Every structure is written in structure tokens, then in C-alpha cells.
Amino acid sequence: MKINLNSFLKSLMAVLMSLLLIMSVCFGAGAIAESTADSAQLDYDGEFVTVLFTHDLHSNFLPVPNEDGGEDGGYARLMTVINKQREKYPDAILVDGGDFSMGSLFQTCFKTDALELRLMGKMGYDVTTLGNHEFDYLPEGLASMLRNAVDSGDKLPQIVDANYLPPEKGQEGYNEEIVNAFDYYGVKKYTIIERGGVYFVVFGITGLDSNDCAPNSGMILEDAAEVSQQVVDEARAECKALYGKEPVVVCLSHSGTSDGKGEDYDLANKVDGIDLIVSAHTHTTLQNAIEVNGTAIVSAGNYGKYLGVAHLSVDSDTPELVGYELIPVDENVEEDMEISQLVQEYKDKVNETYLAPYGFTYDEVILSNSYKFHTVKEVKDKQHESTLGNLFSDAYKAAAEKALSENVDVALTATGVIRGTIPAGEVTVSDVFNAASLGVGTEGELIRVYLTGRDLKNVFEVDASVQPLMKNAQLFVSGARYSFNTNRMIFNKIMESCLVDNEGNVIEIEDDKLYSVVTGMYAGQMLGSVKEKSFGLLTVVARDEEGNPIEIKDFGNYVIRDEKGNTVKEWYAIASYLDEMINDEMDKRYAETDGRKLVYSSVSPSMMLRNANVFTYVALALILILLFVLVLVIVLITRKIKKKKSSKTK
């Protein structure tokens, strides 16, 4: 058979590129370059408008300690910074990108008092949108919050939400309570604001990952790009018809950016006419704005550490970013006394209405800690065992065993629900709550379910294989030990795993046996999505004691309760565990890790092939095929060269 060498080589290159793409997904992808516009103080002589912005405040009314020994954030200090910017730019608008709730003890008044929205209204926020954590108390909790916010009579920010709305009557999942609450509050797809003769269109968008992080929101997620284009076109036409002017279009997107790209980068690329995207959800801090398709993407980090300031020109047909800065909110900023007094009143309310039944107070010192625990960033950025994760998972296991009066096999937590760290020095109740603040409400109690040994091993594989693709999936366990090699084939990175009982005995995991597993409600719901996140290659099925599968919507039936019938919450499990430590000092076992998770990056044959499964064998087969093809190409090229030389000598 005659072979066309050129065609063959083109086909070979296509195969090689496909294989390289597969291998990059399997073994890790490189960084993506970021397109940025220089961050700078305003230096523009033309006409401009100013947008002040925050996002991911997470109920952090009070400052939080930072690694440098100082403090970040705090609404009273944020108010001072906002006021200074308003003095300079009196026609500025103030907006927020969502997740304004869930992150401190103040969130415990979310449903009943709507402290977050009311405080934002007091601070003069014009507009906000809903993040995934606004649904942590389920649609009914959000509905209660919206109603109580309106009934307070306080000034409130407008809520905009264009593509994440409750099902309408007649649609599956229709919830009359949340539909009526949206109407009662006046939630809109977009709003038009006039300042100094300039009109702003502000609308809200929810992203795919944000939706994944709110599995029980009850909302319908519509395509962000399609809806955004519709809203931009409609709002621009309305503004021009009513006021005869083109508006500045601002999108509050709870989608996020990562490594200079991400969902908001894609949104800007697909949609024409957005001038500014305030990018929330990923807690990204962009010191330089990203510019794509005429849209500037900005992000100011989380917890109110910065106030974002964006200036856009309005003396041409198309607004452009002409100035951008992030202003630090730290211990060097004086507190606004009015907001400070309000926050103190809210703290008193938390003590009275929430903490008193637990026997704790907001600033109560639980113990003294002599050790440095990992930060949230550290537990997310690198696959490794964490003293912080060990402490939390051990606390869950101890609390569950005490409440159930029986041993459980494994307890686990995930980086996605760890919101802070345990500080050195005196550790207060609020410190613990801030670190595990998702442990409140229906989303956060501890649950006990059962997994087969096979699915339990898959849980460990999630930590090993999925975490590089999804940082929040890194897991920390109590009652088990496992090791993995980051250089192995995806979905076959685990080398060994076993259980370790309370006496330190090592127990082999049997594939078909049921094991009791304790985790938080939120992390449990995320494990239910493992099959989707692993492209259907891994499954983790929660079961009851008899081995019957449990649907995620029924997890509430498996919440752990103590002897008084009270639900065991994550933060309370940790606080109680710390409160029982000897001499009110942190147990020295948490001074360092103990080897329950061992992470290797080796290319030795024994560590690459130990307990290999079908994924590794398929990869090996592809490599062998590739080598065979390369050898064949070399042979064919060599023959052709020899043939040409031979024909020339004749």
C-alpha cells in the first residue's frame, strides 16, 4: 500500500496534539497569561464617572486579623474610606457583587433581622446582587430575610438578579414563598441610576460555579452570556428612549476570575456593550483591571479588605476605564463612629438571641494557642496535609461520637467550607465561628451517612485528582490514612488507603462493606456532585444504615443531634472540642501534621504503578501506541531518504 508521507505526518501531528491536550488535562495545565490594563491613580482631564465597589463581604462587620499582625476590613473603617471617596467624587455610585452574608456570627440573624442588607443600606450602597451564600438557609431562609429587611423600614440597596430566578408558577420547583419575597423586596433584572446627569445601568449575573456551590437554591440558572446581552440591549434602548442618553453599563457578576481568565473573562468576550464587570465569587484581588472586548473587569478581594474604585470616561461614545485602584481598609483607617455603634448593637443581639443557649459569648476566650495553623489560602493552593484540616475533622468525629454514643469510621471536611484559621494566642468563640461559619443553618449541621468501601476510596481519589481542577475539593480526614502521587494518571493517583481507629489500629478498607462517615451538610452535598465533576468516572453515593441510596434533598433527615435533640453544628463541634482541651491550651498534637495524608511527586516505577487501575493502563497503552507511531514515522522517513539518495546515484 502506498503511503502519502505528507498526509501521514499531518495526521500524526493531529494525534500528537490531541494526546498532549489529554495529558495536560490529566497531569496539570500551565498558567494562562493575563491581559491587563495598568492600575493607576486617576490622571484624566476629560469627563468621567466613578464606581465604588466591594464583594464577598461575608458578614464581616468587624475587622479580621491578617498575617502581618494588623487587621483588614471592618464596616466602620470601610465607611470612612467610602466617605472620603464620596468627598472627592460626589456623583459616585456604590455597588456590591454579592455574598454579602455568611461568614461571621452576625449571619445568625440573617433570616430574622437582615442585618447585612440593613447595614449596607445605612452605608449608602445603591445596588447589590445575590451570591451563592445568600441561599445557604435555602429559599425559605432568603425569603424570610428579604421580607424582614423591607419590614424594618430601613433604607436598603436595590437587588439586581438577571439570570438566577425562582421558577414561575407552573414550572417544576415553583416556590410561592420565594417568588412573593422577590416581588415584596422589588428584586429586578437591572436598575437605572442617574448621577450628575450620567445614567448607569446595573444588572446582576450568577455563574456556573456559583450555582454549583448552591445546590439547594431552588433557582433556575439561565445562560449568563445570552441573558446579559438581552439585558444590555434592552436597558440601553430604554435609557436612550427615556432620557436620550447612552448609559454606563455595570455588571455585578457572581461568577469570578482566575489566573486572568475565568467565567467573567468569557462573559466579557461574548457580550457586547458591558463597560464594567465587578467580578465576585472567587475572592480574587485584581491590582490591575483585565480588559477584553471593550469591557474592564475589576475585583477587590474579600471581607472588605479593599474598597475598589473604578473611573470610566463619558466624553466619548464608548466609556473606557481611565483610572482604577484598590484602597486598603486596615488598622490605619479610623472607624466611623455611627457604624461602629450599630455593629456593637448587633453584637449584643447575637449574644442574646444566638449564643446564650450554647453557653458562649461573642468575645469569650476558649483557650490559648501556641501553634501556627495554616491559612485558608495555604490549604487551597497546595495539595498537602493540614494541621487546621486535621483539627476540624477530629473535632467533627469527636462531636459526632459524643452525640451518637457510638464510634464513627471517618469524619471529613473540605477547603470549600473552611473560611478562616485558628489564630495564635487567645482563641475566641468568634474566631472559631469565623473559621467554620458555614456550620449554621440547614446548610451546615453535621450529618452521618454511610459509604461503601469502594466509594470511600473514591472520596480519597477526589482529594488527589479533582483538587487540581477544583481547589475547594481538597479534603481533610479523621479516622483514615492515605497516600497519593501527583504524577500518576488522573483518577488513579491514590497509592494506598486504610482506616485508623481511635486506638490507632490500622484497618483494611473492604470494597463492599458500609462505613459510617460524618461531614458537614455543605461538604456532603458537594460530594454528591462528584460524578458530574469527574466526568462520570468517579461516584460517591451516600447511603443509609441499610445501604439504600440517599438523595441530596433528603440529607436533612441525617443531621446529627445531641442528647437534648439539638442539631450539632460545625462551629460548635470545633468550639466544644477546643473547650475540652487540658489546661485551656491547644493540644500539642496539632503542632505539626501526623501523616494521615501523604503527598508525593515521584516518577519512580514503583510509585507510578502501585495499585494501578484501568485509567493508568489506558494511559500506558496510549504511550505505547505513541512510541510505536513515532518509530514507524522514523522508519518511513529513513526509507524515503535512502530511496532519494539511491535514485540520485543511479
| DSSP summary character for residue 160 | B
Give me the amino acid identity at 330. Answer: D
Q: Where are the domains of the chain?
A: 37-337, 363-600
What number is the average pLDDT over the span 104-132? 97
Angle of the 115-123 helix axis to the 75-88 helix axis, nearest 10: 30
Full strand arrangement of the beta sheet holding 289-292? 36-37, 289-292, 295-298, 276-279, 248-254, 198-206, 190-195
User: What are the backbone angles phi and psi of residue 310, rounded to the nearest 5°?
Assistant: -125, 130
User: What's the rounded Cα separation, in Å, for the pair 399 and 454?
Assistant: 26
Cα–Cα distance, 100 to 79 (Å, whole number)? 15
Q: Which residues of 333-395 form beta strands (DSSP E)?
A: 365-369
Q: How far apart are the first and last CA of the chain?
A: 25
Least confident window among 200-214, 267-281, 459-473, 545-559: 459-473
Judged by DSSP in three states, 492 sits in: coil
> Which pLDDT does position 441 carry in this prediction?
64
Share of the chain above pLDDT 70, in %: 90
Confidence of residue 522 (pLDDT cuts 50, 70, 90): confident
Average pLDDT score, the chain: 89
Confidence of residue 604 (pLDDT cuts 50, 70, 90): confident
Strand-pair category, 127-128 with 93-96: parallel
Taking the C-alpha atoms of residue 621 and residue 619, their distance in angstroms, rounded to an integer, is 5
C-alpha cell recorded at residue 425: 494566642
Distance CA 273, CA 297 (A): 13
Q: Is the pLDDT of residue 13 over 80?
A: no
φ, ψ (nearest 5 deg) of residue 252: -95, 100
Instruction: Give yes or no on whether 37-337 and 363-600 have one common fold.
Output: no
Instruction: Give the total residue count for the chain.
Output: 650
For residue 649, name the pLDDT band (cuts at 50, 70, 90): low
pLDDT of residue 294: 96
Task: Check residue 264 and give its pLDDT.
Answer: 98
- The predicted pLDDT at position 443 comes to 60
Give me the pLDDT at residue 35, please: 37
Cα 368–Cα 370–Cα 375 angle in degrees, nearest 5: 100
The pLDDT of residue 30:
31
Please give the average per-residue pLDDT across 444-454, as a whole number.
94
Among candidates 254, 321, 247, 315, which has minimal Cα distance to 281? Answer: 254
CA dist 485 and 191 (Å) reads 51
Residues 6+ apart with CB under 8 A from 624: none
- For 376, phi and psi rounded to 5 degrees? -60, -45
| Predicted confidence band of residue 648 (pLDDT cuts 50, 70, 90) | low
pLDDT higher than 90, residue 114: yes
Instruction: List all residues 6 or more positions away from 119 whose beta carbon is below 8 Å from its beta carbon.
Output: 61, 75, 339, 342, 343, 346
Query: Which pLDDT value is given to residue 36?
Result: 40
Work out the pLDDT band at 18, boundaries 50, 70, 90: very low
pLDDT at site 41 = 54
State residue 16's pLDDT score: 35
Alpha-carbon span 473 to 421, nearest angstrom: 18
CA 140 to chain CA centroid, Å, is 22
pLDDT of 421 over the 70 cut: yes
**Do the Cβ atoms of 229 and 271 come closer than 8 Å?**
yes
Where b means 16+ CB within 10 Å and e means fewer, 137-155 reads: bbbebbbbbbbbbbeeeee
**Inter-residue contact 35 to 288 (CB < 8 Å):** no
The answer to whether residue 11 scores a pLDDT higher than 60 is no
pLDDT tens per residue, range 216-248: 899 999 999 999 999 999 999 999 999 999 999
Confidence class for position 603, pLDDT limits 50, 70, 90 = confident
Task: Give the residue with greater pLDDT, 530 vs 419.
Answer: 419
Superfamily of domain 363-600 in the CATH hierarchy: 5'-Nucleotidase, C-terminal domain (3.90.780.10)
Q: For 322, which DSSP code? A: E
Residue 9, pLDDT score: 37
Contact call for residues 190 and 160 (beta carbons, < 8 A): yes
For residues 36 and 290, the answer to whether their CB atoms sit within 8 Å is yes
pLDDT surpasses 50 at 24: no
> 247: Cβ–Cβ under 8 A, 6 or more apart, which residues?
192, 198, 199, 200, 201, 235, 236, 239
619 compared with 30, residue with greater pLDDT: 619
**Rounded distance between C-alpha atoms, residue 262 and residue 494, angstroms:** 29
Element (H, E) at 72: strand 71-72
CATH of 37-337, one of 3.60.21.10, 3.40.50.12140, 3.40.50.300, 3.40.50.2020: 3.60.21.10
Residue 336 confidence (pLDDT) = 98
**Which of 339 and 624 is assigned the larger pLDDT?**
339
What grid cell was written down for 316? Answer: 466619548
